[in-house]
Amino acid sequence: MPQVSLNLELTAPYEWSPLVKFFSARIIPGVDHVVGSSYSRTISMGRGTGSLTITPTAKALSAQVHINGSINEGLISKKLRLLANTDAPIGKGNKHLARDKLLAPLLRKRPGLRVPGVWDPFELGVRAILGQQVSVAGATTLAGRIALKFGKTIKTKSPQLTHLFPTAESLAEANLSGMGLTTRRAATITGFAKAVCAARSLLDSSKPLDDFVAGLVSLNGFGPWTAHYMAMRLGYSDAFPASDLGVRKALAMAPEKDVLRIAESWRPYRASAAMHLWASLGD
């Protein structure tokens, strides 16, 4: 199986360990895996399938990629940088957010904290739907059931990596009964899959934030929380799930309208602010 090694240069400050912790809590059995500080997952590119592993070094992230087909290093590097969020404007963002008395001490504690990225936008959407009003552990269990039943089985060098996450085409007509989903949630997933099949531009993260959010909330079962959470993970620096319970807890359970008012001065880096608020809940 062809292999390529890539190094992703990092701009300080950068903290990989919080990302690994985030990914580890959301591991989909068969699809991705964490061992120590290394993150691995299955991937597909064109007709090729395989896996990748990201491991931190002193000043970079080292990625080992194995695919049973041609390897597009440029595309892989771009997707890896999104996954690891290496290109976030961390310096400008920290400087701006540090002006806020609430956020300043959080930034000093975690200056290199970044929003976790994603490898596959469709996978992210399904996970976001599963995470609506459900614990992280519960959503992970449901995602694993769906992946193992509807995801393509592949061979990799790791016994933990056995399946690709299902494609939009495979879930558009899937019978999700028996997965532990409510009828409404199952319909939201299949509806989302059909929408993506009909218009791939739905998940195009190059469009303005408001347009991206509007496209998602037009779908049944999608609200601002889901759309903004997905936007955060896809690199929108100003995405902000104002109704999120964790964000509200960090702000003394302020009502959503007050959360939006407080966060207005954090623009255009509200996604980073949300990450720091979530992280502060564990302090």
pLDDT digits (tens, 9 = 90+) for 234-265: 999 999 999 999 999 999 999 999 999 999 99
Residues 37 and 17: their CA atoms lie apart, in Å, by: 7
Whether residue 170 contacts residue 147, with contact meaning beta carbons closer than 8 Å, is answered with no
3-9: strand order across its sheet: 3-9, 60-67, 48-56, 38-45, 32-35
| pTM summary value | 0.95
Q: Is the pLDDT of residue 85 over 80?
A: yes
Q: Is the pLDDT of residue 16 over 90?
A: yes
The whole-number average pLDDT for the span 81-99 is 96
Domain ranges of the chain: 3-88, 209-283
Q: Is the pLDDT of residue 2 over 80?
A: no
Give the pLDDT confidence score for residue 240 in this predicted structure.
98
Q: Is the pLDDT of residue 1 over 80?
A: no
For the chain, percent of residues with pLDDT exceeding 70: 100
> What is the band of 62 on the pLDDT scale with cuts at 50, 70, 90?
very high
Give the pLDDT confidence score for residue 162 in this predicted structure.
97
Residues 154 and 166: their CA atoms lie apart, in Å, by: 12
Q: How many CB atoms lie under 10 A from the CB of residue 257?
A: 9
Residues 82 and 89: their CA atoms lie apart, in Å, by: 13
Q: Which CATH superfamily is domain 3-88 in?
A: DNA-3-methyladenine glycosylase AlkA, N-terminal domain (3.30.310.20)
35 contact partners, CB below 8 Å, separation of at least 6: none
